[in-house]
Structure 1
Amino acid sequence: MKIGILTYYGVHNHGAVLQANALKSVLQKMGHEVSFVSFERNYDYVLAGKAKKYQISLGSIPYYIGFLKEKGIGNVLYNVKKSQILKEFREANFSMVPYSEFNGDVTVVGSDEVFSVEIGYNAVMYGYGIKSNRLVSYAASFGPSTTEDIKQKERTEDIQKGLAQFNAISVRDRNSQNVVRDLSDKKVPLVIDPVLLYGYPEEQQQYIPNEKGYIAVYAYDSRMNDPEEVDAIKAYAKEKGLKVYSIGFYHKWADRNINVSPLQLLGWIKNAAFVITDTFHGSVISIICNSKLVVKVRESNRNKLTSLLGEFDLSDRTIESFSEIDDVVQKEINFDHVNQLLAQKQKDSLKYLTNAIEGKDE
């Protein structure tokens, strides 16, 4: 079949690129012809001048220049280089077709926060104007957006009508499942993120860093900069004789800030002494790489992170304070158990995706 993927392929982080590439790879392994459907993203609810923050292109450079004094030249140069690395990866791996021109057999919406209205409402993600024969979602997420948030932004009717157009809907977290149930009469199974579904087993082995003895920090530039958090991480690293490497994001306080391709990121995570993250995909990548992880859950991602960690019996990997790092690190992870759970979830999620595309569940 000819399949188009609708997702936020241009987000300025490796997790977003890896999830898009993973879904493409799974569909290609199933024998389908796959393209990404390009569109102009809407930023209804972002303050004027801030939208460039969410775009990964040369057009984002003025945004970074705008906070040069606040963030520093190192941050700006790092992100310009990172933008180019991610752009080159997409150009090498993503076949694009404009939204107005795609008329294939199936459109798959997802994964990631494609249903979120936090930044802006994007009608394309709800099937408006889709020309394909079938419309399904895979591991879609509302992110931090709740039914009440949608109501406050006066998008309830738009989203209700949009959800009604789907032939099949799946989501990746409990909050999203609840929102779909509130706004539609659709069955809405939980499935795993494409990165978990694909697993990148061969790609994990392709890049092995020359260095050992480091803590891999995977956190957005704007987070994990609080002096109390930074001091706790650095003190723990010094006590254990470890370096702190920020992988994929810039943190001035880290021993090294390492710019990597999406696939190289897997190698850095896999070979770390352990991972400190406060992101969904930082946790996902640690799971597939069987890397020991410490997770700081923040209010902005509590919905999806607690759902993810709970599904893999990893709820005890979270910290409220960074003074708890050692308590979590000392707890061993039964990765045999985690991998058994993952294998079953891969089987169930692949079954959903196959049936949704072929219309077998209707």
Structure 2
Amino acid sequence: MKKIAIITIYHKNYNYGGQLQAYAMTSFLNKKGYTAKQIDFDRVSGGFLKNKGKVFMKWPYSKKKEFIINHFQRWKSSKNSGTFTMQYNNTIKKFDDFILEIPHTSKYNKSNISQISDNYDFYITGSDQVWNMDYCTDEYFLEFVKDKKKCISYAASMQVLDLGETSRQKLFKQIKDYKAISVRESGAKNLIESLGIDNVSLVCDPVMLLDKAQWDEIAKEPDTKKKYLFAYLIQRNKKERSIECEKLADKLGLELICITSPGWENDLSSTINQVPNGIGPKEFLGLIKNAEYIVTDSFHAVSFSIIFNKVFFSYGEDDRKITLLNFFGLKNQIVKKSGLQETYANRVIDYLEVNKKLSAYNNSSIEYLEKALNSGEEND
């Protein structure tokens, strides 16, 4: 039975998509007969905050000011009592419980992660933004693993594609000896191939390795009995977009359930009702599963909307969502400048065709993984 260690943004990561893809990766591999665990790596110890500080210094003044104000408001709100604090605390508790359910190692940091360099048959980096050259440290490129033929990437995401020559050379050096490389976005595939690395596969996000029935098993049903529009907004312009969602829900005669990243609820419209009992990853799945409509700017919320065959609309045209929506022929679900209320009408999704494409995507991604984990055994 092969042992597999996975490194992704797992340790105390209070991000719905991040934890659900970590769950999916370990769950899929363990059901396939491997022994897979997430490496509980504390990225703060590895220089993550230092890297983030460098990026912050490059921002224009207006963006820095907005960032500081938002963080101050978040800190100020956390000191107050009431619904907001209750929701935040309950959400974090549900996240912590879910994180513990995912098979994982002991906690490691930059100083001792090399202790596990010989403990596993394979090391997988991915998914999510593990190769974001602005933030992620060397550990996410598996620099602590001595034998690079044990190194595999699965659906690694980069986000930053416009790299200088120094970063390009560093990236090439870090991954050139991997046994197998796969990424989640077409832009990342093109970038890596431009470095002279061949056979880069484009695969689905780990959440699509599990089917709807498997997600149904852990999804928590929402408390409300009313029909609702679910909005999950995490990028900039959350207040303006949440107001648009309120208007759309009212026009459709639906209740609105609108959430954002834990702790950032003050960025939404002040008239949006909070959820005092909190929303963990399982509750997040339940909200998507049972929604009439979904509006989001999140890659993973779009992914789960597709898995659950939901009518959804997406803000933003970054490489992650464009690659995903183009593959499924769903680019029309992107909200244009004309506004959400004008966009939602007459958007019928043919899930018969989408599900055929999802099945094919799933199969080709599994084929990549099985080949990476099993090829060459006859020579061992």
Show the 5 A alignment for 1:126-275: 126-131=141-146, 134-143=150-159, 145-146=160-161, 148-151=162-165, 154-204=166-216, 206-209=219-222, 210-220=224-234, 223-227=236-240, 229-247=241-259, 249=261, 250=265, 251-253=268-270, 255-258=272-275, 259-275=278-294
1:123 equivalent to 2:138? Answer yes
Larger mean CA deviation between 167-176 and 69-78 belongs to: 69-78
CA distance in 1, matches of 2:5, 2:84: 35
CA distance in 1, matches of 2:345, 2:282: 25
Alpha-carbon shift at residue 330 of structure 1 (Å): 2.7
Q: What corresponds to 2:75 in structure 1?
A: 68
For structure 2, the 5+ residue unaligned runs are 57-69
The size of the alignment, in residue pairs, is 340
The higher relative CO (CA closer than 8 Å, separation ≥ 6) is in: 2
Alpha-carbon shift at residue 200 of structure 1 (Å): 4.6
Question: What SS does the aligned partner of 1:333 have?
Answer: coil
| Per-residue Cα deviation, 1:315-358 (whole angstroms, up to 9, x for no partner) | 01001236243433431111111111001111110000010112
Show the 5 A alignment for 1:299-314: 302-314=318-330
Alpha-carbon shift at residue 65 of structure 1 (Å): 6.8
Amino acid at match of 1:21: Y
Show the 5 A alignment for 1:37-52: 37-41=39-43, 42-47=48-53
CA distance in 1, matches of 2:342, 2:220: 28
Alpha-carbon shift at residue 359 of structure 1 (Å): 2.7
| Per-residue Cα deviation, 1:253-310 (whole angstroms, up to 9, x for no partner) | 4643342221222221011110000011110111111111010115xxx111111111
Q: What corresponds to 1:59 in structure 2?
A: none
Alpha-carbon shift at residue 194 of structure 1 (Å): 0.4
Amino acid at match of 2:88: N
For residue 284 of structure 1, the aligned residue among 303, 327, 331 is: 303
Show the 5 A alignment for 1:11-22: 11-22=13-24
CA separation of 1:75 and 1:182: change in aligned 2, threshold 3 A = farther
RMSD between aligned residues? 2.7
Larger mean CA deviation between 67-76 and 172-181 belongs to: 67-76
Q: Report the TM-score when normalising by structure 2.
A: 0.81
Amino acid at match of 1:202: Q
CA distance in 2, matches of 1:23, 1:94: 10
Q: What corresponds to 1:56 in structure 2?
A: none
CA separation of 1:279 and 1:181: change in aligned 2, threshold 3 A = same
Amino acid at match of 1:157: Q
CA distance in 1, matches of 2:308, 2:164: 36
Larger mean CA deviation between 76-85 and 161-170 belongs to: 76-85
Q: What corresponds to 1:332 in structure 2?
A: 348
CA distance in 1, matches of 2:299, 2:79: 27
Q: Report the TM-score when normalising by structure 1.
A: 0.85
User: Could you tell me whether the CA contact under 8 Å between 1:35 and 1:96 is conserved in 2?
Assistant: yes
CA distance in 2, matches of 1:233, 1:293: 12
Alpha-carbon shift at residue 113 of structure 1 (Å): 0.8
For structure 1, the 5+ residue unaligned runs are 51-62
